Every structure is written in C-alpha cells, then in structure tokens.
Structure 1
Amino acid sequence: MPTDFNELTQRLPHLVETCRAYATQGRVATYIPELAHAPQLALGITLRHKSGLTATAGDCGIPFTLQSISKVITLLLALMDRGEQAVFEKVGMEPTGDVFNSMLKLELVQPGKPFNPLINAGAIVVSSLIDGDTAEHKAERVLRFVRDLAGDDSPSFNESVFRSEEATAYRNRSLAYFLKDNKVLDQDVEPTLHVYFKQCAIEVTCAHVARIGLILANDGVDPSTGRQLVPKRYVRIAKSFMVTCGMYNASGEFAIQVGIPAKSGVAGGILALVPGELGIGIIGPALNDKGNSTAGVHLLRLLSEQFDWSMF
C-alpha cells in the first residue's frame, strides 16, 4: 500500500476537482437551518494510512458536524458500556430500505424496535444506553470518546448547530415518543434527545474523521501506540453495520459500486475505511436525494475503482 499511497497522493487533487462538479447536482441540507450555511461546492478529503502516511486534497480543513456519523461512535460506546445483549435487545441488526428518519416499520413490524442502530430511531435508542448520571454527562462522554478516537482534543460541540437541531427536530421527537410508547425507549425522551442532538453537533474536520476511520480499519487498535481503544468484536459489529446500513437506503448500491465500510452524515461528511489499511474522512455538503454527499460518493467510487479497494 505505501507505493500505491504515493500514487494516490499524486492523483488525489485531480480526482477531487473532477468530482467537485457533482456538487452542483446536490443540495445542502436545510431541515436543520444552521446546516444551510455550508458551502455547496466544497469538497475535501483526508486519508490516513496505518504506516503513518497522510494524504489530503481540496477543502479538507473545513469544519463540519458529525451528524449521523456519530451513530457509529455511540454504537461503539454503548456496546462498551452495556454489552451486545443489552444493546440488541433494543435495536435490530437489519437494513430497512427506508429513509433514515422513517417511522413506518416501527408500527408495521413487531416488536416495534428499530431495525438497526444507524437509522435515527435506532440511534436515539442507542444514545439512551450510554452510561452517565445526566444527559450532559452522557454527551460529554461521547465527546471524550470522539477525541480519543480522533487523537485530538480539539473536536467540540457546535452550539449553534445543536440549538438549531433541537429547535426543529419534530420528526425525531415523534420517533422518540413512539419508541417510548412502545416501551423500547426506557429513558425519558427529552434527556435522551439532548444526548442525540449533542452527539450530532460535535464539530470535526476530515483529519479527525480519517483518524477515526483508521482506528476502525485497524480493528480498534491505534497503530501509532498499539493501544486497543475499542474491542475488536465491537469494531467488527460497527463495520458490518456500516456496510449494510451506513449510507442510508443507498447502502446496497454503495456496496456494489464502492465496496468499503462507510457512514455518511447530512452535514456532508463521510467516514470510510479500507480494512487493514487506511481511514478516510470526506466533506462535501451538497447531498443527493438519499442524504449522502453527492461529490463525496463519486470521489469514493473513483478511488475504489482505481485502487481496487472493494472488499468484495
């Protein structure tokens, strides 16, 4: 890979500029009003290899909030706090084929628990399973975990995005109250949503996301220190969900066209990884109709094709 990585580093700026044009086909998220200010044509990427090599191109320094990328991180933390049995009593292990904020199958399919942890309903339940004395304590634990995985103490809450999401989250409140009524959500709704909105509003850069991806690519071990940050079993669970559910209801298409674990967020971020090799962080705020970065997905497709990344 280091030889390929040098070639990748040389090609990366051209590939980014080629894919930037696809941003015109998407739209910046506006249902969280604060996200509407993001630059539509931005596209940036950071790649971190287990050898320590790093490659960057485009607008990789633009800060953005994790949004749904945080669902992978809170899943790992909840598994570490509660274990598999407790988590999967409350959320399933199957893709839905529905949009990420759908509540359709909660009513149609018994026992009415979310199909997986990477849709909104599932992530809200997972947030309730994180240990902590208060909602703020739980949110701070999520932030500390992000900082540990990113290897940097600079990620922090974007309070403007948090307040914007909290004030307009009518669908997520509906999901949470439905889950409470179904007795799937054991905790109180508003404190649980406070944790969920806070985790989504953690602000990072592509470098942070790529480093998180590298830890996952290396089965939970920090390659620079040899420290096991997350148990291998839980990382494998998270990566399996990323393949089957990580790109919303475009996950099957993404698996065929790109073939690597990935998780997107509606701020335009993508966390991706090549197992055993490298972590990838992308920002491209213009989204397609599935809620994934339009230019970012095209960039990953080109990289996977040219460097044979597909797991399949």
Structure 2
Amino acid sequence: MFSLLNTLVEKNKKYGREGKVASYIPALSEANPDELGIYVVDSRGKEYYSGDYNAKFTIQSISKIVSLILAIRDNGRENVFKKVDVEPTGMGFNSIVNLEASDSGKPYNPMINAGAIVTTSLIDGKDVNEKLEKILEFMRTVTNNDDISVNERVYLSEKETGNRNRALAYFMKSTGVLDGDVEEILDLYFKQCSIEVTARDLARFGAVLANDGVIPWTNEKFIPKDVCRIVKTIMVTCGMYDASGDFAVKVGIPAKSGVGGGILATVPRKFGIGIYGPSLDEKGNSIAGINIITDLANELDLSIF
C-alpha cells in the first residue's frame, strides 16, 4: 500500500498547477498549490500514508458531516429533516437561488452552506462556546487527536468575509426555517469551518464511518449505525458539491470535500481516506485530490456500486 500511495502522489501532483487555491477567504489564499498528501486507515486501524499528509489545513465544508451527526444525535432524525431536505442540487454550495427555488423553503441538503447552517443551529448547548466544545470533543475522539482546535486567523477571515452566508441565514430566518440568534449561529458555523486538521485526521474519521460508527483503535461504538448510514448516503449524493454525480460515477464511494483542499472519503467496512491538495477545480474540489482518489478507487476496486 505504501508503494502504491507513493506512486499515486507523484503521478497526480502535477494537477495542482491546473487549479487555484481558494481566495474568497483571504487566509486560504496562502496555501501552496503544489502540496498533495494522502492517508488511508483500514477497518482494523492500520495506517498508510504518502506526501504532505501532515500538512495542516482547515476542515471547511467537511465539518458539515459533524454538524449533521450532532444535530441528529441531539434532535432525532425526523426533527432534523423537518428543517433540511436530503436532495442533490445542481447549483453552487453557497447558492441563494437554491433556497428561493425550494418548494418547501428548506435547504436542499445538509452538505450545502444553507443546510449546514441549519444543522449547526440544531446542536444543543447553552452558548457558542459550549456548542463549539462539543464539536471539538467529537473531532478529537474520531481522529484520536487531542490537539484539534480552531485556527483563529482563518476564523476571523471567514467571519469578516462571510456575507453570502449571512444572506443565506437571514433569508432562512425570514421564512421560519432557521430558529435562534442568527449571528450566534453564524459565529459557530465560521468556527467549525475553521477547525484545523491533517489528512491523517480525515482518514481516521473516515475509518470510523466505514466501521459503522465503531472506532477501530478502541472498538468503542461512538456513532449510531443508522446515523452513519444516513451520513454516508448523503455524502454519495451531495458531498462533492455540484460535482457529486460525476464523482459517484467515476469513483463511487461516499466523500466530502472542503475548499481548504481536504477530501474525506469512506469505503464501507474497508477504509477511511484523507486527502489534502489545496488547489481547487471550478466546483471547489481539490483537483489533484480528485485525481488521486479516482486512481486509488480504480486500482483497488473500491466503488460501492
């Protein structure tokens, strides 16, 4: 496996030059587009890696998996999906048209910004700090990394430039979809997106999902099996922004990307995969990351279909 990963990193690094790092959040524009790393954790907890797997970056939209899991835990499946649908969308992850076009007024799914703002609002806690600590503790457990924390600089950059997310949130507040203090909800959302991780952290999280919620290195049942299945299903249909259908056809495994350059993928009962490559394609997905995971899935016949 190490030899294969080394080969795939070397083969796919070149694609970083074909994309661009995210710049609409100023702090993300400093990333090195040539970086590429991959980490794989199997169902028994054995780990394989290559490239820039220890480079730190912010989780961004991959945090939407976390807020969905915690929202379901705190409110139950039915109550969450009264507020957000589970349907794919062919529009951008921060589209306002999505909300206006929705017959129900609800966001199309929890993997676009509007949907994630709703699931974040459903996390229990007396204030932003308590809710954030809940998110961080969850992340520290599923990654076996007690050092998981928020990158303050990225958080402040997101907060300063997050006007599109404010527009989405206030629109949903006006239609009754979003309950609570909008600015507090957004503050928590900006903070959860600014959690700093590595490809190793994402792979370990993916391995827990692959094991139906059982942590491979402790055998603890940490996430309910039915919640894992819901999350993995939505990852297949909606996890790669409006390129999710193409990714499902070419790769065929549940995955979630973030504009920080991360991809978290999970192969049921086999692997958790974490990838970092900050250069993005026009859809907002890691361009080298898409190429390397496509090669890996083909090489190891990982498609679930």
Same fold (TM over 0.5): yes
Per-residue displacement from partner, 1:259-311 (whole Å, max 9, x unpaired)? 00000000000000111011011100000000000000000000111110001
Among 284, 289, 297, the residue aligned to 1:296: 289
Aligned alpha-carbon RMSD (Å): 0.7
2:102–2:108 Cα contact (<8 Å) kept = no
Q: Which amino acid aligns with 1:20?
A: K
1:263–1:270 Cα contact (<8 Å) kept = yes
Within-5 A mapping of 1:219-258: 219-258=212-251
Alignment correspondent of 2:88: 95
Alignment correspondent of 2:165: 172
Q: Which amino acid aligns with 1:279?
A: G
2:152–2:194 Cα contact (<8 Å) kept = yes
- 3-state DSSP of counterpart to 2:39: strand
Q: Which amino acid aligns with 1:199?
A: Q
TM normalised by structure 1 equals 0.97
Per-residue deviation, 1:10: 1.4
Write the distance in 2 (CA, Å) between the matches of 1:307 and 1:230: 27
Alignment correspondent of 2:188: 195
Per-residue deviation, 1:225: 1.9
Q: Which amino acid aligns with 1:306?
A: E
Per-residue deviation, 1:110: 2.0
Q: Which amino acid aligns with 1:182?
A: T
1:78–1:129 Cα contact (<8 Å) kept = yes
Within-5 A mapping of 1:52-201: 52-201=45-194
Query: Aligned pair count?
Result: 305
Percent identical pairs in the alignment equals 52
Write the distance in 2 (CA, Å) between the matches of 1:22 and 1:288: 10
Unaligned segments of structure 1, at least 5 residues? 1-7
2:84–2:108 Cα contact (<8 Å) kept = yes
Write the distance in 2 (CA, Å) between the matches of 1:272 and 1:108: 30
Per-residue deviation, 1:104: 0.5
Write the distance in 2 (CA, Å) between the matches of 1:21 and 1:113: 40
Write the distance in 1 (CA, Å) between the matches of 2:105 and 2:301: 40
Do residues 23 (structure 1) and 7 (structure 2) align?
no
Write the distance in 1 (CA, Å) between the matches of 2:218 and 2:303: 28
Alignment correspondent of 1:3: none
- 3-state DSSP of counterpart to 1:203: strand
Q: Which amino acid aligns with 1:61?
A: N
Per-residue deviation, 1:152: 1.4
- 3-state DSSP of counterpart to 1:28: coil
Per-residue displacement from partner, 1:204-229 (whole Å, max 9, x unpaired)? 11111110000000000012222111
Q: Which amino acid aligns with 2:207?
A: L
2:262–2:286 Cα contact (<8 Å) kept = yes
Alignment correspondent of 1:39: 32
Q: Which amino acid aligns with 1:250?
A: A
Q: Which amino acid aligns with 2:212?
A: D
Unaligned segments of structure 2, at least 5 residues? none
Per-residue deviation, 1:240: 0.4
Per-residue displacement from partner, 1:140-184 (whole Å, max 9, x unpaired)? 111111111111111100000000000000100000000000100
Q: Which amino acid aligns with 2:149?
A: S
Within-5 A mapping of 1:266-305: 266-305=259-298
Which has the higher mean CA deviation after the structures are superposed, 249-258 or 223-232? 223-232
- 3-state DSSP of counterpart to 1:259: coil
